[in-house]
Amino acid sequence: MTDRTALACRVACRGTAFGGAALRSAALRSAALRSALLLSFAATLAAAATVPQFQVDGRTYGMPEAQIILAHATIHAALAPKSNAVVLAIGAAMGDVDSGRIGVVPAHLRDGHYRGAAALGHGIGYVYPHDVPEGVAPQEYLPEALAQARYYRPTAHGQEERWRQVDTRLRELRAGAPPAPR
């Protein structure tokens, strides 16, 4: 390992919530982890260098403080369990669009705030999710042609397992399942 690589690992791992020394030690031993950390860290900092400042939670950050925030985000992404579920979902949705399988916006979701909208059926039957228990209305949001489409299929990797549980519950509620007891 070059001195430059070792320095970059030390900089990338300094002060992280993941235990800097332990992570640095693992990074120095693992070429794959080291490469992922360095490439991701370098790409993130290169992109950030083109933006003089950015905002997080209403606070404005610039360099050098932004380097620390970006390093934490980069390391978190590099160490997170990987899944291509989102990539597959986007690919499937784009495939449907490219093949013309898009359908029309359901009438209850169309704008009903203009004269003549009701005569067209626009906005009729819409259920405002904030007015129902758990905030999920038992209604379909996709066009009829896509009613059975399922794009995002969360895996059991890392936090995505929790998203899989949420996805399952949302599908149940939209299908009319009773709200969970309180």
**Mean pLDDT across the chain:** 75
Residues 72 and 130 grouped into a single domain: no
Q: What is the mean pLDDT of residues 135-144?
A: 89
Choose among 92, 100, 83, 99: nearest CA to 161: 83
Residues 161 and 107 grouped into a single domain: yes
Q: Residue 53 — φ and ψ, nearest 5°?
A: -160, 160
Residues 10 and 33 grouped into a single domain: yes
Is the per-residue pLDDT at 39 higher than 80? no
What's the number of domains the chain is made of? 2
End-of-domain residue from the set 79, 110, 137? 79
End-of-domain residue from the set 22, 56, 79? 79
For the packed helices 20-29 and 3-13, what is the interaxial angle rounded to 10 degrees?
A: 150
CATH number at residue 104: 1.10.3710.10
In the chain, the percentage of residues whose pLDDT exceeds 90 is: 30
End-of-domain residue from the set 31, 53, 79? 79
Q: How confident is the model at residue 158 (pLDDT cuts 50, 70, 90)?
A: confident
Residues 151 and 101 grouped into a single domain: yes
pLDDT on residue 25: 46
Asked whether residue 100 is domain-assigned, the answer is: yes
Is the per-residue pLDDT at 26 higher than 60? no
pLDDT on residue 22: 43
**52-80 pLDDT tens trace:** 566 777 777 777 777 787 788 888 888 88
Distances from the Cα of 77 to the Cα of 4, 28, 41, 106, angstroms: 22, 18, 10, 37
Tokens of 10: 């030390």
pLDDT on residue 182: 66
Asked whether residue 53 is domain-assigned, the answer is: yes
Residues 154 and 127 grouped into a single domain: yes
Domain with 43, as residue range(s), is: 3-79
